[in-house]
Chains A and B, each alone.
Chain A
Amino acid sequence: MLITDAVVINQEEIIPGFFRMTMSAGEVAKNARPGQFLHVRCADALDPLLRRPVSIHAVDREKGEVALFYRVAGRGTALLAAREKGDRINILGPLGRGFTRPESSGKVSVAAGGIGIAPLYFLLQELSLINTYANVFLGAATKKQLFFSSEIEALGHSVFPATDDGTAGYHGTVVELFTQNLSDTVYGCGPAGMLKSLCRILEQYKIRGEVSLEERMGCGVGACLSCACKTVSAGENYRYSRVCVEGPVFPAGEVVWA
């Protein structure tokens, strides 16, 4: 865990409003685990004030590079998108608890909704390093938001696309598509509604799964209790866990959905 002034190597607008930014940050690249995030200082001034949590999207350990994949959602991410090659960005991390490794036997799946592919891509990079190849269910509103299909296939994984408008792949949700192709372990990230229905399916079929959650953050290091999410473990009523340290990745069965 450290504070780094990373240098922007490349900033690429994949489709309007969606950016992939590569930074030079050797220590982060060395230590990062899939599912962890960086707490990014988007402005140099005091407004917007807080850092923004962004998942680690890809890592090149040899080059000491880290990539983010983000959607411009407001002022902070807009400032991030305005950063150019050579600019410095202050980052905190890697932070949080990432995905755990799959059990050695059994079929692995990944379910991504839209921008949710961001942390899962790093996971897919790591899985192919241990010769574990996954069924990747990529969901999006429309065809052009099915991100990184060819890169994912190049890593050796199989892509199963689903679009809400039927412009590519399965016409329907990524969770419906997954339900038709169940596996032993699932890693999910995406909008809350998608993760909620994914968790319901996992419970129904007793499938092991992990999901990456989002919540508004202050400190990012466990100190302010802003990023609470309701969780439950065996024999417990419920409690608030901190997405920034106990998460952002949680076992699917522990999340209490609203």
Chain B
Amino acid sequence: MTPQNGGIINGAKTKLAVNIGGIAMKNPVATASGTFGFGSEYAPYIDLNLLGALVVKGITLQPRAGNPTPRLVETTAGVLNSIGLQNPGVERFVGELLPGLAGYDLPVIVNIAGDTIQDYGQLAARLDRAPGVAGLEVNISCPNVKKGGMQFGSDPDMAAEVTRVVKAGTGKPVIVKLSPNVTSIVAIAEQVARAGADALSMINTLLGLAIDLKTRRPVLGNGLGGLSGPAVKPVAVRAVWQVYREVKLPIIGMGGIITAADAIEFILAGATAVALGTANFVNPRATMDVLAGIKRYMIENEVQDINELVGAAHR
């Protein structure tokens, strides 16, 4: 079995390659931003070359120290986090971390985050010049400091403006990552698509809170956090389903994927690719296990091309 391009078992050939807005992936399994560091952290556990794509930790213009601790707490079948975008800033990322990924045969997608519209434009332009970047994933779940902290991702017009600015700054494929903390994720997706996004990814974490009964204070140092893991999966599958119906852009689906069955559910709902986040914490080899399980499902069900399954639940 050649892991690169699907495999042959009992004469059945499976085609796993997908395309996300111009980014060619050899299979549909990617990593979710912020959960897989810059890739090298997991290199002792999996062959990174076998991933469909690597999405790195969110990068900002300036370095960020991140939020006070505790930054993570477990809730029922889920995880609340408030890391606070701790990252070395775009210059050190490009200078020190990106070169380390050059030796791998996989698309590297850089997740970017800003406090202002201008931040996003500058990040896009800086990364456009950086070698080894296959595309950008735009995290619009950040508070806009100029507009009183309102999230870019919660207002269709602001989301569209961020998208336009990033598209203007780079010729590389632009994936906009949608927040589930909105009234209508479809309305945001439509505006972002109109503004020129090449693909969408969803969902980012759900805003949540856990309170300590002893201290009677929020558990996390920052108060609120973002919920991820199995607890959010139905919400994420629903988001993919709704957006797939209305917007003709490829989708990277994520939110609570642990097993291949979870991943296939997202694909049936309309995701062209999937990303694993929290699952990596539970099982560092989760991406590889999911990939193997997708192949097995395809062979057992005589699916020759993964693209046949995309959105199949709508038909």
**A residues near B, CB below 8 A?**
1-3, 41, 46-51, 92, 215-229, 238-240, 245
Contacts and interface: CB of A to CB of B under 8 A. Distances in A.
A226 B41 contact: no
Interface string B67-83: 00111111011110101
Nearest to B78: A49
B81 A218 contact: yes
- Sort A-B residue pairs by CB-CB distance and give the 5 closest, nearest first: A223-B37, A226-B72, A223-B41, A47-B77, A222-B41
A172 to B, nearest CB: 26
B42 interface: yes
Max chain A C-beta neighbours (<10 A), residue from B229, B281, B285: B281
B86 A221 contact: no
Interface string B37-70: 1000110110000000000010000000110011
Contact of B77 (A3, A49, A216, A223): A49
A224 B72 contact: yes
14 contacts: A1-B44, A3-B283, A47-B230, A49-B78, A49-B282, A50-B79, A218-B81, A218-B281, A219-B35, A219-B284, A221-B41, A223-B35, A224-B281, A240-B66
B69 A228 contact: yes
Contact of B278 (A3, A49, A222, A227): A49
Given A51-B281, A51-B282, A216 B86 contact: no
Contacts of A51: 281-282
Contacts of A224: 34-35, 37, 72, 81, 83, 281
Contact of B74 (A48, A221, A228): A48
Contacts of A238: 65
A51 to B, nearest CB: 7
Contacts of A245: 41
Contacts of A3: 45, 283-285
The B interface is mostly helix, strand or loop, or mixed, namely loop
B70 A222 contact: no
B259 to A, nearest CB: 9
Nearest to A217: B72
A111 B54 CA distance: 44
B66 A225 contact: yes
B77 A46 contact: yes
Contacts of A215: 69-70
A129 B55 CA distance: 46
B72 A218 contact: yes
Interface of B: 34-37, 41-42, 44-45, 57, 65-66, 69-74, 76-79, 81, 83, 86, 229-230, 258, 278, 280-285
Given A220-B281, A222-B37, A223-B35, A50 B74 contact: yes
Given A46-B258, A225-B66, A218 B42 contact: no
A18 B209 CA distance: 31
Contacts of A223: 35-37, 41-42, 280
B243 to A, nearest CB: 26
A1 B45 CA distance: 8
A41 B45 contact: no
Contacts of B78: 49
Contacts of B44: 1-2, 221
A49 B281 CA distance: 9
Contacts of A217: 72
Contacts of A229: 69
B206 to A, nearest CB: 15
Contact of B79 (A1, A41, A218): A218
Given A48-B74, A226-B83, 13 more contacts: A3-B45, A41-B282, A46-B258, A51-B282, A92-B284, A216-B70, A217-B72, A221-B284, A226-B71, A226-B72, A227-B71, A229-B69, A240-B86
Nearest to A245: B41
A229 B189 CA distance: 38
Nearest to A1: B44
A92 B46 CA distance: 13
A228 B86 contact: yes
A18 to B, nearest CB: 21
A220 B280 CA distance: 10
Nearest to B87: A225
Contacts of B79: 49-50, 218
Contacts of B76: 47
A49 B229 contact: yes
Max chain B C-beta neighbours (<10 A), residue from A3, A216, A222, A227: A216
A241 B206 CA distance: 26
Given A49-B79, A221-B42, A223-B37, A216 B73 contact: yes
Contacts of B258: 46
B111 to A, nearest CB: 14
A5 B280 CA distance: 17
A140 to B, nearest CB: 21
A226 B37 CA distance: 11
A94 to B, nearest CB: 12
Max chain B C-beta neighbours (<10 A), residue from A1, A92, A240: A240
A228 B36 CA distance: 16
A161 to B, nearest CB: 29
Nearest to B67: A228
A76 to B, nearest CB: 8
Contact of B282 (A50, A221, A227): A50
